[in-house]
Amino acid sequence: MKITCLSAFLLLNMVQMKAQKVFDTHIHGDRDIKIQTSKLRKAGVYKAAVSTSWAAQENYKNNDSIQILKGLMLPCPNGKVPYSLQKCYESGQDFPDPGWVEQQIRENRIHFIGEVLSQYYGIAPSDKTLYPYYALAQKYGLPVGIHSGLAGPNHGSPHFKVSLGNPMLLEPMLQDFPNLNVWIMHAGAPFMDDTIAIMTYYRNLYADLSAVSNPDLFPTEDFRYIMKRLINAGLGDRLMFGSDNGDIEKCLASIKALDFLSQEQKDAVLYKNAERFFQNPGQNKR
């Protein structure tokens, strides 16, 4: 009898683990892609959006369990990816040629524009130098992900400014590209008043929870406070999970521990909202 009960308990756990679905909207390159994707798969990730140097990104392939969406990281301070300091592009350029970008989109090698590193570069996300890429994203139906909020140390970007991470700086580009789907990476923290204000007005604006859901970066109580504010503002249908190469199990545990969310709301954050946001990227190729 004990064995039967134990077997049933283990089977239930296995079913629950198998049933868990996670769409990670925010990962970056890793030295060992096999280990990285193995950890993602173990955590229930079936789809992930990656942005890193162009050369490293080419090494990410779809497999039987994880679908990879590839981004276009730009602009690159001194031609390099922050933190890793790899060349963004073999040419060492800060901005890729828009004609080349369009060709990559048409060849299905770019599925979203991001991570947009405007803050690291020292410009606002609505700076006109970024408009050719936003125009391509709108033309081909690609989402755009923009860094916001803070940054860690040793990123190697001399023109980084905290003030340039305020989500309110998105407004000019949102008005100029009204059909563009945009997500605020890191939920705009610590500018939560501004995140809520601009997301309330612009329904095409989403946010990922990378960094803020990581207890190694944000205290648990801070994350609970952030989530309560976002949920109470009616934004639960536009929040998406992201690990940003942090400990994904810890990030997932932070969301699962939110006792003021129903399972349906948690599922929305873990994958359903992202599925809607990233639906058929690049479907407008022509």
DSSP 120-134: HHTS-TT-GGGHHHH
Q: pLDDT per residue over 163-208, tens digit each?
A: 999 999 999 999 999 999 999 999 999 999 999 999 999 999 999 9
The pLDDT value recorded for residue 132 is: 99
Residue 23 within a domain: no
Residue 19 within a domain: no
Residue 65 within a domain: no
Residue 178 within a domain: yes
Residue 163 within a domain: yes
The pLDDT value recorded for residue 75 is: 99
- How much is the average pLDDT of 218-245? 99
Among 14-23, 29-38, 209-218, 242-251, whose mean pLDDT is lowest? 14-23
Domain at 106, CATH number? 3.20.20.140
Residue 65 pLDDT > 90: no
Q: In terms of Cα–Cα distance, which of 280, 192, 179 is closest to 239? A: 192
Number of domains in the chain: 1
Q: What percent of the chain has pLDDT over 90?
A: 88
Q: pLDDT per residue over 129-150, tens digit each?
A: 999 999 999 999 999 999 999 9
Alpha-carbon span 44 to 18, nearest angstrom: 7
The pLDDT value recorded for residue 8 is: 44
The pLDDT value recorded for residue 225 is: 98
Range of the domain at 139: 71-277
Residue 41 within a domain: no
Stated as kind and residue range, the H or E segment containing 69 is strand 67-74
The pLDDT value recorded for residue 61 is: 84
Residue 45 within a domain: no
Alpha-carbon span 280 to 19, nearest angstrom: 23
pTM > 0.85: yes
- How much is the average pLDDT of 75-86? 97
Among 35-39, 63-67, 96-100, whose mean pLDDT is lowest? 63-67
The pLDDT value recorded for residue 15 is: 42
Q: In terms of Cα–Cα distance, which of 286, 1, 277, 4 is closest to 142? A: 277
Q: What is the mean pLDDT of the chain?
A: 93
Instruction: Name the pLDDT band for 272 (thresholds 50, 70, 90).
Output: very high
Q: What percent of the chain has pLDDT over 70?
A: 91
**Amino acid at residue number 30:** D
Residue 134 within a domain: yes
Query: How many residues are there in the chain?
Result: 286
- How much is the average pLDDT of 98-127? 98
